[in-house]
Amino acid sequence: MVKWKLLSLTIPNRKVRNLMVQHNSLSEKGQERIAAVFSTLQIGQLLRKAGISKSFGWSSLTIFRLIFTLVFEGRNWFRLLNSDRRESLPGKDVVYRFLNHPRFAWRRFLHALSLKIVQHFDSLTSKSRIRAFIVDDSVLRRDRSKKAELLARVFDHTTGRYTRGYNMLTLGWSDGFSFAPIDFVMLSSAKLANRFCEMKERLSKRTPGYKRRIEALSRKPDAVVALLNRALKAGFSADFVLMDSWFTQAPLLRELMANGLHVIGMVKAMKQRYRFDEKSLTLQELYALLPKHKNKEILGSVIVQTACGLPVKLVFVQNRNRRRDWLVLLSTDLALEDAEIVRIYGMRWSIETFFKFAKSYLKLGTEFQGRSFDMLISHTTIVFARYLVMEWERRHENDARSLGGLFFLFSDEVRDLDLKTALQHLIAFFMEFTEAKSKRDQSAVFRQLQHWISSLPNYIKGLFGKLSCES
């Protein structure tokens, strides 16, 4: 007689509902929430308007939603294709053809989605509240890649070293409470010597994919101007453009002001000089002329002219990390108070949190790493869409939780579902065993159970403790 031994079965104190849900998919609650947001934002319609559609087989919306929800399931695409769900999923080639399609206008889709969300945020905010465009870049490392399209040697200013990868120049919008990524340029290197691989040949020059590849070879200041011009043309608006010291160059400032955009940015103390009192002075020399305010974070300000004759206001603030040091903020709006310049510039931090969240939780640059530049663009756009939807959910529901909290809410629902499914299978094994009339049938159930135990995820095994059978 086969004896069954169940030791240390630990089950969380939650009700078991809807046991017949597909294994390791999003919970019913999670599916409903995503379906509701997709319907409200008309994701399917936005995809069609961007030319992201298919004439037969799986619909583009279905594939987009599958990739969109993948990050919440705790699995990559390879593991999902090797799971019990593979029969209900599109094939590997279907998904990869979708991501590698050069004729899909992913920028048009991202513009339309982010504009819809930004306009909603705008309706919730007082008209007197400051809105800002935020420009910053972040490196997507591809250390092990060799043949990825337009892979280049790029400088990572966070580490101060060169690395293999791409420089993702991002334009975002913020009202001080919410942040929305609205566009990006995936920069390679304008220098041929710094590129490890060139673009794919025999690509139609009319396709969005070809235009994104040519755009990748542009200079960073030119890319910034193009990003902002496209945003204004698409219908976005803001009071200021916020940027760090890598972008606050006089020619770029002048070009942005010609488009009616005021700039607030950090300035590094380098060799640049400013006209003040008919003298050409460095930042150190200007700081020496200022009356010193003790025990104040704002040390003083001065209105000067750049080398090209552009009037700007320089605000000297104390460096919180090094109290003896100081930092400089530049504003092209001379009427702003010093404290207001500092406050508005603080909104720029939202893009830094976006980069961190997208890389840590939304698998930016790591989920799909094909050789195609089209895949790089399409997957980055989907990651941006994930962030936009989560920001929409947080703002729309007046949710006080951070985006990280909302992300883990989905992930926890998935893990709860895994446990429920495991319990369902375990109960089914016991029911089958009790109905077995012969030793042969019991042995077959026993082998099935052993195989099932060995295939459980580690975190499920940990919840069950010691689960064993002996004869």
Q: What pLDDT score was predicted for residue 457?
A: 54
- Comparing 173 with 469, the larger pLDDT belongs to 173
pLDDT at 17 over 50: no
pLDDT tier at 269, thresholds 50, 70, 90: confident
Contact between 241 and 256 under an 8 Å Cβ cutoff? The reply is yes
Q: What is the mean pLDDT of residues 48-77?
A: 88
Distances (CA, A) of 23 to 174, 318, 416: 39, 55, 11
pLDDT, tens only, 328-362: 999 999 999 999 999 999 999 999 999 999 998 89
Domain 106-399 CATH assignment equals 3.90.350: yes
Contact between 128 and 53 under an 8 Å Cβ cutoff? The reply is no
**For residues 247 and 169, what is the distance between their CA atoms, to the nearest angstrom?**
11
Half-sphere exposure for 381 (CA within 13 Å, toward CB): 28
Half-sphere exposure for 29 (CA within 13 Å, toward CB): 10
Q: How far apart are the first and last CA of the chain?
A: 7
Average pLDDT, the chain: 82
Most confident of 161-170, 267-276, 460-469: 161-170
CA gyration radius, the chain = 27
Tokens coding 274? 């400013």
**For residues 131 and 347, what is the distance between their CA atoms, to the nearest angstrom?**
9
Q: What pLDDT score was predicted for residue 367?
A: 87
Q: Which of 65-69, 345-349, 386-390, 417-421 has the lowest mean pLDDT?
A: 417-421
- Comparing 463 with 356, the larger pLDDT belongs to 356
- Comparing 266 with 1, the larger pLDDT belongs to 266
Tokens coding 68? 């969109």
pLDDT tier at 393, thresholds 50, 70, 90: confident
Q: What is the mean pLDDT of residues 382-405?
A: 77
Q: Which residues pair with 300 in a beta bridge?
A: 316
pLDDT tier at 3, thresholds 50, 70, 90: very low
Any idea which residue has 């390791």 for tokens?
A: 24
pLDDT, tens only, 147-182: 999 999 999 888 889 999 999 999 999 998 899 999
Q: What is the mean pLDDT of residues 263-272?
A: 88
pLDDT, tens only, 93-143: 899 999 999 999 999 999 999 999 999 998 888 888 899 999 999 999 998
Q: What angle do CA 42, 48, 54 make, to 5 degrees?
A: 125
- Comparing 401 with 138, the larger pLDDT belongs to 138
Q: What pLDDT score was predicted for residue 14?
A: 30
